[in-house]
A and B are shown apart, each in its own frame.
Chain A
């Protein structure tokens, strides 16, 4: 054995063994443990880096020329338009894949000793991905971009104390304009990619240090091992190349959206933020801005970051949702959040607003403190009921977390597909 290990190896395998150990536990390579989500996210990051550099060759970041440079990408026989499509779809897909990856890590209980810091890094990476997507959104300088960024930078100004300076810092002036484009271009191209790269390397290193992917508790000592090459590598290659193939095919068929050139004088109706912020925009219709933009999202982020540090909140490692009962709890609490928030939105829209009782006290109470306290009360109730049902604490915390996730998903879905002109509620996606 030892003679084998000392054998000189090629640069490629040298690189592989930098990322992976020589042998990995057989149970960690099964697809249904990880669904290859982390690998997909890493693949998408690489695709985004390459297509991003290629786009620098055809894109102009000057506000008077940006839109025209996008139009020119699709003119003639160059592949610049295709590259833009790949970059666009990969970026959007990364938001979904990263979220699912985060969810996978939590639900398979990979938050134990040695993985806590990595969870925080993962959460930071997710926020950076959102910021990268959002800053990239402005660059085409079309109507979609201009108004989405106008809406978002105005959302930021509702944050107490630091909101106004922060909004001004992002925009570079009082309103979205050439300075904003320069800011966003610098952040998108120069600031975020290196930050993500550094954190990504740290992320990978911490996984290796924690002993690879999460394993179930039983049989930890004598777990059967398989060689990394070819068992793990072939699987990773299959996921990575398969994803690339699908992404390129999709990008060849579907162009990334591009609206008319930005016109500060005319908001499209409805004007919507980027889709991953539609949950926030929806929340803004119902809550006082300080609660919708600052307090509620911060509380949810705090819950997310705290998960590995809450006592006994980590799920059974290596098993989805801690077992079959846990899976049932997870699915039902997610659905409860989803349906609950839909009902709340409909009631708020059609009962409170029409009867004029939306401000039954002051806006701060009726559209801030009362809904927030209700949410905390419901979360506490779910936790207590599950504990009374003799569920372990980890399962009860999971129920609350997935309830919140259901709420976020519900708000996002309503915002994207069920809001039409004037942000009226209805089945607008059916009318195309």
Chain B
């Protein structure tokens, strides 16, 4: 107690100065925190742009159009996708990734549907949902047919809420 009073007499300005210093310290701490956040996010961002640059636009060949008859589904492993020919003769390239939780689906030839091994979602040939828990149809890729050769742009999988004939390509 006595010491305390002595201190107060010796340094009357102490409390105010201390509050100011404390505020300065917390300001510096806050600045350091913001700087750390900025640093982290800039590293993450640079990594992301590197990833997208690696992908770019990329067309892959998927064989001749007439090799695929109506109703056929063919796996294209290098594009991690399936190429299907629908009943009306149109081609559609479907992402292999289930829209529910991202597992790799496979084509069941006998039951004629895509089956996801994780949660049992099923999709038809055009990628629309046959049974839940998946809600969205499979993503699709742009398909082009040049001189009877099928080419697929694998750089971007397009999200969709429902099937539309514009997603397919005809010979």
Contact = CB atoms under 8 A, between A and B. Distances in A.
Given A179-B47, A269-B117, A285-B119, A151 B101 contact: yes
A127 to B, nearest CB: 21
A281 B102 CA distance: 13
Interface string B86-115: 000000000011001111100000000001
Nearest to B75: A265
Given A179-B47, A284-B119, A150 B96 contact: no
Contact of A421 (B103, B117, B132): B117
A284 B117 contact: no
A359 B101 CA distance: 20
Nearest to B99: A154
Contacts of A268: 117
A153 interface: yes
B101 A150 contact: yes
Label chain B's interface by main secondary structure: loop
Interface residues of A, number: 31
Contacts of A264: 80, 104
Interface residues of B, number: 22
Contacts of A271: 103, 117-118
Label chain A's interface by main secondary structure: helix
B3 interface: no
B133 A284 contact: yes
Interface stretch (A69-77, A169-177, A329-337): A169-177
Contact of A155 (B47, B51, B97, B101): B101
A269 B105 CA distance: 10
A12 to B, nearest CB: 35
Given A179-B47, A264-B80, A270 B118 contact: yes
B118 A151 contact: yes
Contacts of A63: none
A147 B135 contact: no
A172 B44 contact: yes
Given A153-B102, A267-B104, A363-B135, 10 more contacts: A151-B103, A154-B100, A264-B80, A265-B104, A267-B103, A271-B118, A284-B100, A289-B100, A421-B117, A424-B120
Interface of B: 44, 47-48, 51, 77, 80, 96-97, 100-104, 115-120, 132-133, 135
29 contacts: A150-B102, A150-B103, A151-B101, A154-B100, A154-B101, A154-B102, A155-B101, A169-B44, A172-B47, A172-B48, A172-B51, A173-B51, A179-B47, A265-B104, A266-B104, A267-B104, A267-B117, A269-B117, A271-B118, A281-B119, A284-B100, A284-B101, A285-B133, A289-B100, A289-B135, A358-B132, A363-B132, A421-B117, A423-B120
